[in-house]
Amino acid sequence: MRFACDKVAAVAMLGLLLSFLPAGPALSAAPPQRVANSLGMEFVLIQAGSFMMGSPKREPGYQGNERRHKVILSERFYMQTTEVTQGQWRAIMGKGLINLHKGPDNLPVSRVSWFEAQSFIKRLNQKNEGTYRLPSEAEWEYACRAGTETAYYWGDQADCSKAMYGNNPQGDYQCRQYLARKGIAPGQPAPVKSYDPNPWGLYDMTGNVWEWCQDWFDYYPKGRLIDPKGPLEGKSRARRGGSWFAGPLTLRSGNRNFANPAFMETTLGFRLVRELD
């Protein structure tokens, strides 16, 4: 009985002592699944996780620089749901002296060098509506695959109804027929969101325009990688995703490509990552 009374007294004393301690920080609320800025740029939350980056050797179109390896991404991030559009570009950069970036607001911007993408990011960050950057190659492929391991996020066979590609005179005839029925003019990309998103809500990760990544381009290092950012230096920057002009094998989730950072062409654009606050 005495033991029970002593125990009650001890609990009461502990509660009294705790009442004098400073309150700890409140539990932070979970970040929203989607965010947007004043330009109408939408971003979806990508959770941390791991995946097999690269392609199996048996996959048609496999290249030696696609060696499969495990990658762990330890931090969440927001990925833009679409490629940066003409309208978003002009809102930040203006029309420019030679007006390279013309077209409807909902077309992806193209003819943008890696350096110009950095200028856009710098000006966008000055608006104090978040911190933006290009995705790493690992972040890009992780988001593109959206939990899948097939050649494309929908399976192992190319499909004109799933992504924008082959929209050129030498392209896939079936795709040109499909695009004509869809009302998309030949020789150009499609308006963003013309195709269904991947399972994580991202549009046109496959096809439409190539997308710049932050990394210098080189062969993958051996072994498991945690939050890889690419080599420290190089001559070319990575680009991903294939384009409206390209053939289907370049649209594979593990396919890699590269270009000089000063390079500009009508098939090359970008999308952004927004870091968590």
pLDDT, tens only, 121-177: 999 999 999 999 999 999 999 999 999 999 999 999 999 999 999 998 877 778 988
Question: Which range (200-204, 211-215, 246-250) has the least confidence?
Answer: 246-250
pLDDT digits (tens, 9 = 90+) for 225-258: 999 999 999 999 999 999 999 999 999 999 999 9
Split at pLDDT 50, 70, 90, the class of 25 is: very low
Rounded distance, CA 42 to CA 34, Å?
Answer: 7
Distance CA 258, CA 239 (A): 5
pLDDT, residue 174, reads 81
Q: Is pLDDT above 90 for 185?
A: no
Closest by CA to 88, choosing from 39, 36, 35, 38, is: 39
User: What is the C-alpha radius of gyration for the chain, rounded to an integer number of angstroms?
Assistant: 24
Task: Report the C-alpha gap between 149 and 231 in whole angstroms.
Answer: 25
User: What's this model's pTM, rounded to 2 decimal places?
Assistant: 0.88
pLDDT of residue 106 exceeding 80: yes
Terminal Cα distance for the chain, rounded = 55
Domains and CATH numbers, the chain: 32-274 (3.90.1580.10)
Whole-number Å distance between alpha carbons of 160 and 196: 12
